[in-house]
Amino acid sequence: MTTTSIAQQTSSQKLYPSRIDLSEGMRVGVVEILSKTLATTTDLKTQVKQAHWNVKGKNFYQLHELFDEMAGELEEYTDTIAERITALGGTAMGTVRIAAAESLLAEYPVEIVDGVEHLNALADRYAVYGKHLREAIAKTDELGDADTADLYTEISRTIDKRLWFLEAHLV
């Protein structure tokens, strides 16, 4: 079975008709950016859950609860991002297989259990994700979609805060 990348699917995808006052060309560009974010956010959420389920050590309870809260935030973001894609006339490509194929993140080291190792692994991934969000703010703003740029700004603030929380545990 041949698989087509999300970028190929998105760029070749015909948008659904919409009365939204954004050009089709702009919407295609924004949907492509949002689709990469949806894949990466879905992947990050599952990686955070991996840490949540498997963390061990003297700070188990604190980290277990923190990771669960972080995964919950990411779940909300996946829904918000997917709904923005569909509001623009696109199709939200949100399966786990698509997320695995299209995510910007490295695979999570599933053999780790120590809390500090999980903190380091998640901090690395949150830093990559935060950088992507800031780039997406600039790109969607440049395309003229202030609403999507604002959505990215909102997510970015929380992700930067979470990265700070992760790094604070490592000091």
Structural domains for the chain = 23-169 (1.20.1260.10)
**pTM of the prediction?**
0.92
Q: Which residues contact 166 (CB under 8 A, 6 or more apart)?
A: 119, 122, 123, 126
Given pLDDT bands bounded at 50, 70 and 90, which one contains residue 79? very high
Q: Which residues contact 125 (CB under 8 A, 6 or more apart)?
A: 44, 47, 105, 106, 108
Which residue has tokens 């297989």?
97
The per-residue pLDDT of the chain, averaged, comes to 93
Buried b (16+ CB within 10 A) or exposed e, 104-115: ebeebeeebeeb
Q: pLDDT tens-digit profile of 123-169?
A: 999 999 999 999 999 999 999 999 999 999 999 999 999 999 999 99
127 phi, psi to nearest 5 deg: -65, -45
